[in-house]
Amino acid sequence: DPRDVLRDVRAHLATFMMEYKFALDEVETKTNILREEFELANDYSPIEHVKSRLKSLESLAEKVARMNVPSDLASIREEIRDIAGIRVTTAFVEDTYLIADMLTRQRDLTVLARKDYIAEPKENGYQSLHLVVSVPVFLSDRTVEVPVEVQIRTIAMDFWASVEHQIYYKYAGQVPPHLNLTLTEVARIAAALDMEMGALRSEVQSLAQEAPQVRGETFRP
């Protein structure tokens, strides 16, 4: 009966997507633990905010077709690794690496890929630290390893990326060259801002060490 087939396919797909939601919940909990622990111990957190999203079925289907991935769920899990995504924003560049280290040291988490667009920005100026991690999701009758894409970047990098993303979509990928030039220039300014902010923090930290009356909480590493 075609209705049985349809019900079966829908159930498989729902389970598949649910596993990503659980994996995302796991990684979100991990980042929340780090944030709260830091806030408790230091009155300061390297994490400014955390945002997570599940890819919509439409954009997943679009990517599967675009990348010529076989349309069975096992191949999709293997090849498309950003179905679950989490973005962690920090104030300072060095905190992006701190968060990445603290996450990837966790025993239940496997790093599948790491791309450091902070050390090596993309041609257009895009900066971010990308990880693909695999987390075990414990279900009633089995355990599945599910990949989650983690993007870690500063507020300045995030500001740039969200504006660039809007412009890219507005022009459907055909951004006029002068706008691309401006974006690349703005990315340079954002990177300079991050550097200045980092230098400012280092200075306040060393002052706080010399003169304890300078309270350095918000600038502690």
Give contact residues for ligand 0O2 (rule: CB under 6 A): 82, 115, 122, 124, 126, 130, 161, 164-165
Contact 86, 148 (CB under 8 A): yes
Nearest to 162 by CA among 126, 193, 189, 194: 126
Nearest to 91 by CA among 28, 131, 49: 49
Smallest gap from residue 70 Cβ to ligand 0O2 (A): 16
User: CB-wise, 68 or 213, nearer to ligand 0O2?
Assistant: 68
Tell me, rounded to whole angstroms, the distance of Cα 95 from its chain centroid.
Answer: 14
User: CB-wise, 124 or 218, nearer to ligand 0O2?
Assistant: 124
Q: How far apart are CA 21 and CA 28, in angstroms?
A: 10
Burial of 31-58, coded b for 16+ CB within 10 Å and e otherwise, reads beebbeebeeeeeebbbeebebeebeee
Smallest gap from residue 158 Cβ to ligand 0O2 (A): 9
Smallest gap from residue 7 Cβ to ligand 0O2 (A): 30
User: CB-wise, 16 or 168, nearer to ligand 0O2?
Assistant: 168
Bridge partners, 89 (sequence order):
49, 153
User: CB-wise, 12 or 122, nearer to ligand 0O2?
Assistant: 122
- Active-site annotation, residues: 149
Smallest gap from residue 204 Cβ to ligand 0O2 (A): 31
